[in-house]
Structure 1
């Protein structure tokens, strides 16, 4: 999938499950994808609803070509994971491990991500639905 096909505004709905604390929360907001040089910039903004509180959240990621394939990078330039919709990906983060899956509907109107995080610091599941405006 050509990441430039993601350009536009998307509604963001994320479910956050913290299995260690037996807590659940959600993020509602928006993803704005813009062309940025040889790749695209993904800017999330929204509100985390967690344990009775509401907290503003933001995140910026970059999709860039690397060695003949697309990679997701953190906004500071560190590699996160290969961009392979439909195929599992793994990202070690300190002592924790993120195992993820990105799925894009054929018509390009819905994008879903699933992350299972396991390790000494975290035991979480993050399920996100992005719907094109």
Structure 2
């Protein structure tokens, strides 16, 4: 229900709207994976295995408008083409999710680094993502 009408509102997602969308998803994802209520949005989504809704909304929006354009031209895609498009959307969602997790905003909590003596930061460990997406070890293959 959270993504209802996503093609219409996905372009209007700014920071405050994204926060409104992330809050319920974090709560649902944290409950799904039995995490503490203090777990962050990104961690809860990874543990629950659900991509962020803002990513899914953007991908659904692109798919809707592409299909609407086809219908306006009077085209009717074959079922195989629809399944290929669905698979491409899934792949795009995972790629966007992986690149978002690799982004600096999730590497360290709000940019703070530890100052305690003897504390060493390792490279952030990113979740396992399917390898059929072209993302290997969370880095895009060229």
Higher strand share: 1
Which structure has the highest helix share of the two?
Answer: 2
TM-score > 0.5, shorter chain as reference: no
Bigger Rg, structure 1 or 2: 2
TM-score range, shorter chain: under 0.3
TM-score (norm 1): 0.23
